[in-house]
Structure 1
Amino acid sequence: MLIKKKIQLMLYNFKKILLAYSGGIDSTVLLYNLVKLREKYPLIIRAIHINHNLHKKSDDWMKFCFLNCKKLNVLFIHKNIYINKNNNIEENARKKRYQIFKKIIKDNEILVTAHNLDEQCETFFLFLKRGSGPKGLSSMSTITMINNFKIFRPFLNISKNEIFNYAIKKKINWIEDPSNKDIKYDRNFLRNIILPKIINRWPFFQKNLARSIKNYDEQEKLLCDLMKPVLIKLIQKNNSLFISPLYSFKENKRNFIIRKWIEYNKYYYLPSRKLLNIIWNEIICCKNNNNPQIKIGEYSIRKYKNYLFCIKYFPNLKNNILIWNDFKKSLILPNKLGKLTILYHENNKKKITHIKKPENKEIVYIKFNNPTEKYYFNNSEYKKNINNIWKNLNIPKWEREQIPLLFYNEKLIAELKNQLITQYGQTDIVEKNNWFIYFQKKY
């Protein structure tokens, strides 16, 4: 069996396994090893195949994986993804795969992948090309956490050549994806051109590099241990970063803190030195009220007072207007903000608020804050700036941009935030002249 004794015991401790199964030689050999291991230990194995739909034989490969799992009595799951070929195919495919893994994986189940020693070396060179520090150069770990679930890589210290020889000896069939030979992709260029020449000259290069990777990993863990007391003081309960002390720190120390804070916020792609410099110079050290931000993937880095926030990026809604004509139907809000529902009888089980019922000719609509606009508040003859109210309530600008505002004609009746409704002006508490409005958030 290719899986070594130490790894066998680790797998036994996990017991519930979700195998990322492409049908290639690595994952197929891993599948056979897991099935053999199941004869010794009470493992529950599921295999998930993700069809990227990038090749004309994609469906045939899915069928191959299905039949293989059926023969081995392994529960088979398959999902389709579609990728924009004009963008970074590798990165987009990876993101979509892990989104699916997060949805499929069960409690107490571990995702097992067939990453091997050769791929570990490729990853090292890719991070080296990007100018990464110890964290990046420590490459992949045998066990790691992504998206709140564990990933286990039992083949990480096993070379591709060992896996190939095992497959030939055991007469195992697998899929050959021709795209693995396409050297326009950086990983394939390393795999097919660069690393074979290095290994041909220095046969022990992979094993030695694996030791270097382990050293980088140990250095990174030591740094984390030493900096942990500082990080505990600076990272707040709402995941923001208290930045006032950073002004007195040296550049290397503050860069480490910012990098770890971004990682703490579940952003899994390490910021480059260039990005760290932008965050420091253009966000943290910004002294005007322009409220600058920088977008990294699906997140945005922004500053509010003496704190830095890493928040989910949403498009600005200041030009959106949602007319609410049919009050029998809920009004679905953009950016997954939730929905508004009118209840004609009070339900104590829900968080609801009395709100003045519109008159027959009044147009009811939702819009979102535009910082340059002033509004007529209910029962007011003068326009006022709502930002002054929010500023006094310490609501950051990016939250203001996503707060739904309820209007009757031109008058602002209420703002909706965190399932609570703030009403502007007085309302008559007479049931027939009032609605019970319910704001249900989705995220």
Structure 2
Amino acid sequence: MTRAGNPGSGSDWPAALCAPVRNLPSHSRLRVALSGGMDSVLLLHVAASLFAGDGRLSAVHVNHQLQPNAGQSERFCQQLCDALGVPLDIRRVEVSGIEDSRRHSGGGIEEAARNARYQVFEEILTPGELLLMAHHGDDQAETVLFRLLRGTGVAGLGGMPRSRPLGQGMLYRPLLDFSRDELQAWAMENSIGWVDDPSNTDERFDRNFLRLSVMPLLKARWPSLIARIRHSAGACRESDQLAATLAELRFRQCANDQGALNTGCLANLAVAEQKNLLRWWIRHYRREPPTIADWPQVLNELLTAPADREPEIRGDGFAVRRYQGYLYLVPDRAPLPAGRLPLVPGQAVEWGEWRVTLSAAGERKSPAPDIRISTRAGGERIRPAPDGPSKSLKNWLQEKTIPPWERARLPLLLEVKDGNEEVVGAGDLWLSGKYCGEAPASGWRIVVERECN
């Protein structure tokens, strides 16, 4: 449904509404996330009245293609932006997992659409760009209540942050201090139009049920509900910031130069501090801590299991693993190529997170060696010093305290000659003098590179 009003109408806006939109963090370009709904349309009007003339303002509309009126919303957004003189970037997305979501009361569709939308935002934001989103006080209250019902800690009860990094830019929510009623009153006063999303009335969605059935009852009983929740969320954010500060102090005490956590240091902390540090540490590496029902038991297993055990915590796309008294955050990796890959002169070979290149060195024109990349099979030996004895590769890696999950993915460089194989390289840990240095003895140089985690 499209509300009455000219898409481009609207004139003077109250100082109270303009102030948070005018006083933004430093930015080079400004984007407004425009759905076509009342709140985002109002935000675009205000932003256009303040910034449209300087050429830095644009809008982005994500069409999820889920609702019958999705095309109408897209056209409305285009007309609105044309009327306001604001460039519009329209992105159409395919939302995955819809059929499975319908079997679970619709809530999964909402989450899948949100994920697709934020993925677009992450992809388009460039350094220095600020994305404005029109979340308001009622949205914040619903978020806090929703998270409370799902079971969350102080970080979740802090609600949506006013700003946070997103992609290469920043996300900013200037309207969090206003209620939905305040924003709608200003919109109707200025006769601006907007498009209602029919899915917003479907109470199969948990957020809609809260908004339509629960919040009105709570507001009727406690008229200052939104302000009270905002106050409580602020207190939770302060507590979360203090917990993060404490975790960072403990991290400096317990971490080595590689950022791994010393289990002995961790064991000396109270369980609450162990959990706080571990969750902060996981977030420090831009991962989301897993939901764990019994943290004390998991932490005890992680810290006290016998040395021959390999306890771990699984997360989304990573694992926390223990090795020789330290905890490591290990990202999941794609499977390595099957079999052996030959090195072709001048062509980089991708081997999981590794890149290996064979190239001629200097003026010498010796035939290209037969070098192949493989994983360890067991029993390999290397000669770390040119004139020294050979050593078991397994023992050598253990002496260098290379964790087992790293050993399993280490690219071995095998030179095949006269039916025999010789290990001439082990990842970026060691390379035979025949293939490295200013003047490799073989006349060929091997370069091994590894991507950063």
- Fold match (TM-score > 0.5): yes
Q: What's the counterpart of residue 141 of structure 1? A: 161
Pairing of 1:248-327 with structure 2 (within 5 A): 248-267=268-287, 269=288, 271-274=290-293, 276-277=295-296, 279-317=298-336, 320-324=338-342
Distance 2:28 2:153 in 1: 35
Instruction: Please give the TM-score of this superposition, normalised by the length of structure 2.
Output: 0.78
For structure 1, which segment, 321-330 or 246-255, has the greater mean C-alpha deviation from structure 2 after superposition?
321-330
Q: Which residue of 2 aligns with 1:404?
A: 411
Q: Is 2:195 the counterpart of 1:175?
A: yes
Secondary structure (helix, strand or coil) at the match of 2:204 reads coil
**Is 1:422 the equivalent of 2:434?**
no
Q: Which stretches in structure 2 are left out of the alignment for 5+ residues?
A: 1-12, 102-107, 384-389
Relative to structure 1, is the Cα distance of residues 358 and 120 closer, same or farther in structure 2, using a 3 angstrom cutoff? Answer: same
Query: Match of 2:393?
Result: 386
Task: Tell me the secondary structure at the aligned position of residue 287 of structure 1.
Answer: coil
Aligned-pair CA distance for 1:235: 4.1
Cα RMSD after superposing both structures: 3.7
| Contact 1:375 1:385 (C-alpha < 8 Å) held by counterparts | yes
Whole-Å separation in 2 of the counterparts to 1:321 and 1:134? 49
Deviations 1:305-361 (A, max 9, x none): 2322223222454x7325338656443333xx25433323559xxxxxxx99445xx
Distance 1:322 1:90 in 2: 45
Matched, 1:35 2:54: no
What residue identity is the alignment partner of 1:341? T
In structure 2, the CA distance between the partners of 1:223 and 1:66, relative to structure 1 (3 Å rule), is: same
Q: Deviations over 1:264-309 (max 9, x none)?
A: 2222x45445263464133333324342333322222222323222
Q: Does 1:52 align with 2:60?
A: no
Which among 368, 374, 378 is matched to residue 378 of structure 2? 374
1:120 to 128, 137, 140: 140
Deviation at 1:384, TM superposition (A): 8.2
CA distance in 1, matches of 2:263, 2:280: 13
TM-score (norm 1): 0.80
Residue 191 (structure 1) aligns with: 211
Q: Distance in 2 between matches of 1:325 and 1:264?
A: 37
Q: Label 1:394 to 1:12 Cα distance change in 2 as closer, same or farther (>3 A).
A: closer
Paired with 1:128 and 1:397, the residues of 2 have a C-alpha distance of 40
3-state SS in 1 of match to 2:23: helix
1:244-263 per-residue CA deviation (whole Å, 9 max, x = no partner) reads: 22212222222222222222
CA contact (8 A) 1:332 1:340 kept: yes
Once the 2 structures are TM-superposed, how far is the Cα of residue 34 of structure 1 from its aligned partner? Answer: 0.6
Letter in 1 for 2:431: Q
Q: Report the secondary structure of 2:135's partner residue.
A: coil
Whether the 8 Å contact between 2:412 and 2:425 is mirrored in structure 1 is: yes
Q: Number of residue pairs matched?
A: 420
Amino acid across the alignment from 1:110 = L
Residue in structure 1 matching 2:357, options 310, 324, 341: 341
- Structure 1 window deviating more from structure 2 (88-97 vs 197-206): it is 88-97
Contact kept? 1:413, 1:425, Cα under 8 Å: no
Question: In structure 2, do the counterparts of structure 1 residues 175 and 402 end up closer, same or farther at CA, with 3 Å as the change threshold?
Answer: farther
SS of match in other structure, 1:294: strand
Counterparts of 1:312 and 1:112, CA distance in 2:
32
Residue equivalent to 2:17: 4
Q: CA deviation at 1:228?
A: 4.7
For residues 366 and 270 of structure 1, the distance between their equivalents in structure 2, rounded to whole angstroms, comes to 35
Larger CA deviation: 4-13 vs 199-208 = 4-13
| Percent identical | 25
Which blocks of at least 5 consecutive residues in structure 1 are unaligned?
Answer: 348-354
1:413 maps to which of 413, 417, 423: 423
**Could you tell me which residue of structure 1 aligns to residue 349 of structure 2?**
331
Indicate whether 1:19 and 2:32 are aligned: yes
Q: C-alpha separation between the residues in 1 aligned to 2:88 and 2:45?
A: 14
For 2:362 and 2:137, how far apart are their aligned partners in 1?
A: 63
SS at match of 2:164: strand
- State yes or no: 1:157 paired with 2:177: yes
CA drift at 1:431: 7.6
